[in-house]
């Protein structure tokens, strides 16, 4: 998946989980990347998260979470290509 970290991330983490288990995470800061969108002078960073893991259930639930602690107009994330 492509993950986009937008605006004022300050060492917070993004998590991909299944069944309560973290299968990958990534930490971001606002001064890496390039200024593309959002507010102020905060930069955006995007990364490709390429994760392989086994599962046997017919259904797979993926949870995308972060430890962001401010409003979405200050720090947020998006994704594509899951």
Where do contacts with Ca ion occur on this chain (CB under 5 A)?
7, 10, 38, 42, 69-70
Residue 29 Cβ vs Ca ion, minimum distance, rounded to whole Å = 10
Judge whether 50 and 18 are in contact, CB under 8 Å: no
Tokens of 57: 């259930």
Of the pair 22, 72, the CB lying nearest Ca ion is at: 72
For strand 75-80 and strand 21-29, is the pairing parallel, antiparallel, or unpaired? Answer: unpaired
Residue 59 Cβ vs Ca ion, minimum distance, rounded to whole Å = 33
Of the pair 14, 42, the CB lying nearest Ca ion is at: 42
Tokens of 62: 């993926």
Of the pair 52, 69, the CB lying nearest Ca ion is at: 69
Residue 19 Cβ vs Ca ion, minimum distance, rounded to whole Å = 27
Give dist(CA 3, CA 7) in Å, integer: 13
């Amino acid at each position: 998946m492509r993950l986009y970290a937008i605006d004022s991330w300050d060492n917070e983490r993004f998590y991909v989980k299944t069944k309560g288990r973290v299968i990958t995470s990534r930490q971001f800061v606002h001064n890496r990347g390039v200024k593309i969108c959002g507010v102020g002078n905060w930069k955006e960073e995007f990364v490709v998260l390429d994760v392989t893991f086994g599962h046997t259930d017919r259904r797979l639930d993926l949870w995308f979470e972060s430890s962001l602690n401010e409003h979405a107009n200050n720090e947020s994330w998006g994704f594509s290509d899951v």
